[in-house]
Amino acid sequence: MDFDLPSQDDPRRLDVRRWLADNPDPTGRELAEAGYVVPHWPAPYGIDASPMHQLIIDDELARAGVTRPANAIGIGWAGPTILAAGTEAQQRRYLPKIISGEEIWCQMFSEPDAGSDLAALATRAVRDGDQYVINGSKIWTSGGHGSQFGILIARTDPDAAKHRGISYFICPTDIDGLTMEPIIDMTTAHSFNQTFFDDVRLPVEMRVGEEGDGWRLAKVTLSNERVQLSSSGSLWGAGPSAGDLLDLVRAGGGAVDPRRRQQLAALHCEAEVLRLNRLRTLSATLSGKTPGPEASIQKIMADEHGQHVMAAAAAVVGPEAMLSGSGPAGALAKRARSGATEIKIDTSRFPDVDPVWHYGFLFSPALTLGGGTFAVQRNIVAEQVLGLPREPNLQQGMTWAETMRSRTTAR
């Protein structure tokens, strides 16, 4: 690591500490007004913080046990886009409540026939005076049922080239003509929805940026990611980490089976590689460089690592991992009580149930799909990092799988 976090008496640290002393249990709005939710944004939303200053603020908030408002899509995606391309009126109306977490946002991008090939989207937005009339359907709208607004991309010009005829909108979820059908995933949680638009009338003021500029805006967020230091959680940075699992096993007396030991050691090595790669990215950011290939491979490796953590946790637990309410902690405790010998543990140290691990085990297959599938991520690395030839275009009107099938049949 070629950088150090500033010392304990750095004036920027002392500022945060003073503020925390005055606001020991800050609300989302208080954090937002202090500029501590998005410190790297300009005033009045942030404090134009440098990457190092952001790390100091993160460090101090974490030390004080203060968490930022949970509004991932609003703060990570919608906000930066509105900041970059929204009108002043849009910024004033939406940004304060996005960063304070008072208004939660969802993302209405994917469609039943447009996922990896998102630019194939078919939801139409037809201009009618000072409104757009929206018709179509979006799918996998995570948390849409608990959101007040969504970012929506829809086709405004069906005759323009695929990427050019798309526009970007802000869409209230309680608007007439919009309905959501729940999709229950295999964790049994209601995480997603299918969203239907039947003659939804959106005022022109809800369009972000110019008509036809939606594809460019949909990618704006990529350049707005916050500096991340410590997201070692196995579920997209949240949830338990490999280290948490190893601590549980260690605290329980360790693993006796040599194959299990091998699996857990491999997990530790993977977590270390990821940690060092995160530090490489951070080091580049802190010295003012654009992170290189290391940033591109992080998501691929982290998604698969999350699956490995959960697979190892399930292996430690055994068949009980399938049962609701089970997890390494609870199951290890039960197993020790029943005298099973593979892992010896001190039963007093573990709670009986551990739904986080059970949920993580069932959720983990989604890690390599959401936010760009494992295959799409590899295509990006192949084309943009390794400079390999671009993959052939999809055949008109066909999905990737159908194109491949038709080519195989044609050969």
Ligand X SMILES: Cc1cc2nc3c(=O)[nH]c(=O)nc-3n(C[C@H](O)[C@H](O)[C@H](O)COP(=O)(O)OP(=O)(O)OC[C@H]3O[C@@H](n4cnc5c(N)ncnc54)[C@H](O)[C@@H]3O)c2cc1C
Instruction: CB nearer to ligand X: give 86 or 115.
Output: 115
Q: Is 381 in the site for ligand X (CB under 6 A)?
A: no
Instruction: CB nearer to ligand X: give 284 or 376.
Output: 376
By CB under 6 A, name the one of 115, 239, 240, 328 that touches ligand X: 115
Give the interface segment with ligand X, choosing from 11-19, 56-64, 287-295, 398-406 (CB under 6 A): 398-406
By CB under 6 A, name the one of 66, 369, 381, 382 that touches ligand X: 369
Q: Cβ 73 to ligand X, closest distance in Å?
A: 7
Cα-based angle 140, 100, 275 (whole degrees, multiple of 5): 65
Q: Is 35 in the site for ligand X (CB under 6 A)?
A: no
Q: Phi and psi dihedrals of 8, rounded to 5? A: -65, -25
By CB under 6 A, name the one of 116, 137, 224, 228 that touches ligand X: 116
**Site for ligand X (CB under 6 A): how many residues?**
21
The Cα 322–Cα 282 span in angstroms is 38
Give the interface segment with ligand X, choosing from 172-180, 223-231, 309-317, 399-407 (CB under 6 A): 399-407
Q: What distance lies between CA 278 and its chain's CA centroid?
A: 16
Which residue in this structure is represented by tokens 């070692």? Answer: 232
Q: Cβ 111 to ligand X, closest distance in Å?
A: 8
Give the interface segment with ligand X, choosing from 33-41, 52-60, 280-288, 394-402 (CB under 6 A): 394-402
Q: Is 107 in the site for ligand X (CB under 6 A)?
A: yes
Give the interface segment with ligand X, choosing from 77-85, 174-182, 341-349, 365-373 (CB under 6 A): 365-373
Do residues 181 and 194 touch, judged by C-beta distance below 8 A? yes
Q: Could you list the active site residues?
A: 225
Q: Cβ 360 to ligand X, closest distance in Å?
A: 12
How long, in residues, is the chain? 411
Q: Is 140 in the site for ligand X (CB under 6 A)?
A: yes
The number of beta carbons lying within 10 Å of the beta carbon of residue 92 is 11
By CB under 6 A, name the one of 163, 189, 370, 380 that touches ligand X: 370
Exposure class string for 18-37: b at 16+ Cβ within 10 A, else e: ebbeebeebebbebbbbbbb
Environment class of residue 337 by beta-carbon count within 10 Å: exposed (0-12), middle (13-18) or buried (19+)? exposed
By CB under 6 A, name the one of 54, 141, 285, 298 that touches ligand X: 141
The Cα 52–Cα 59 span in angstroms is 10
Q: What distance lies between CA 189 and its chain's CA centroid?
A: 17
Give the interface segment with ligand X, choosing from 8-16, 267-275, 336-344, 364-372 (CB under 6 A): 364-372
Instruction: CB nearer to ligand X: give 349 or 405.
Output: 405
By CB under 6 A, name the one of 54, 142, 298, 307 that touches ligand X: 142
3-state secondary structure of 184: strand
Q: Cβ 140 to ligand X, closest distance in Å?
A: 4
Do residues 252 and 323 touch, judged by C-beta distance below 8 A? no
Under 8 Å CB-to-CB from 222, ≥6 apart: which residues?
A: none
367: its two tokens: 């890690």
3-state secondary structure of 192: strand
Instruction: CB nearer to ligand X: give 336 or 362.
Output: 362
By CB under 6 A, name the one of 375, 380, 386, 388 that touches ligand X: 375
Q: What type of residue sits at position 326?
A: S
Which of 114, 45, 46, 104 minimizes the C-alpha distance to 78? 104
Residues lying near ligand X in the complex (CB under 6 A): 106-110, 115-116, 140-142, 366, 369-370, 373, 375-376, 379, 391, 399-401
